[in-house]
Amino acid sequence: MNIDKENQFFEFKELCHKSDLKITPQRVVIYEILSSTDEHPSAETVYKKARRIMPNISFDTVNRTLNTFSDIGAAFIVEGTGDVRRFDAGLGNHQHFKCVKCKRIIDFHYEEFDNVHRPAELEKFDILKSTVYFEGICDVCKKK
């Protein structure tokens, strides 16, 4: 485990403790699967990988756990349209591009998007999160 992964796992454990969540073997496996990829997996994808490690784990456990990770800030749901919910454990500043053909989600970071200013009509609201998300055709699909 490299330093970044160690820090990421430490932060995960801290978020669990702050939320009074036990650090169960199931949660650890699910978090390790999610944090070890940049593919933004669905609950189904995480479930299939988790079954290789814990054959008795249920899809419901994986799905509820991923949603719990989102609730406590250990992961977030990549917003988008029309597809299954996808998850991301990369909590650093970044944005997403989704290919509408192959469904791949690609991380990128454009610093100017980190501090998007809210319009005046939203001043009365407490903004908890804002995201920048693009959809289009990726470079691989364009070549086909």
pLDDT in tens, 25-79: 999 999 999 999 989 999 999 999 999 999 999 999 999 999 999 999 999 899 7
Amino acid at 29: V
Give bridge partners of residue 103 from the DSSP assignment.
Answer: none
Across the range 85-109, mean pLDDT stands at: 91
For the whole model, what pTM was predicted?
0.84
Whether 1 has a pLDDT exceeding 70, the answer reads no
pLDDT value for 73: 92
| Rounded CA separation 74/81 (Å) | 22
3-72, CATH topology level: Arc Repressor Mutant, subunit A (1.10.10)
Res 127: pLDDT: 81
Q: Is the pLDDT of residue 5 over 90?
A: no
pLDDT tens readout for residues 110-132: 999 988 888 899 989 988 777 88
Pick the CATH number of 95-142 from 3.40.30, 1.10.1580, 3.30.1490, 1.10.150: 3.30.1490
**Per-domain boundaries in the chain:** 3-72, 95-142
Q: What is the pLDDT of residue 81?
A: 61
Residue 110: name the closest of 134, 77, 144 by CA. Answer: 134
Assess whether pLDDT exceeds 60 at residue 3. no
